[in-house]
Amino acid sequence: MFRFGLFRSKPCSRCGLEVNYLEPECPHCKGLSDLQVVFLKKSHRDDLRNKNSDLIAVFWKLTLVAFFITLLLFIF
């Protein structure tokens, strides 16, 4: 990750999000109730999952395009 060396961070023990070492408190879950932290964690997880599935979709499209180009090159 490009952030290494620039900002040292560690995962928050409460919400699991990355927190800068310089922060005295987690800025993500500071002042939130336990229930709100649960929702924060869940939405963060869903967000990561959506990003991953988008990446996988892009990867498959690229693979398909590469496959067809290779096929065309072999045919002609």
Up-side HSE of residue 71: CA atoms within 13 Å toward CB? 6
Question: Contact residues for Zn ion (CB under 5 A)?
Answer: 12, 14-15, 26, 28-29
- Minimum Å distance from CB 45 to Zn ion? 14
Q: Which is nearer to Zn ion, 13 or 74 (CB)?
A: 13
Q: Which is nearer to Zn ion, 45 or 61 (CB)?
A: 45
Lookup: tokens for 23:
């922060």
Distance CA(72)–CA(60), nearest Å, equals 18
Q: Which is nearer to Zn ion, 14 or 44 (CB)?
A: 14
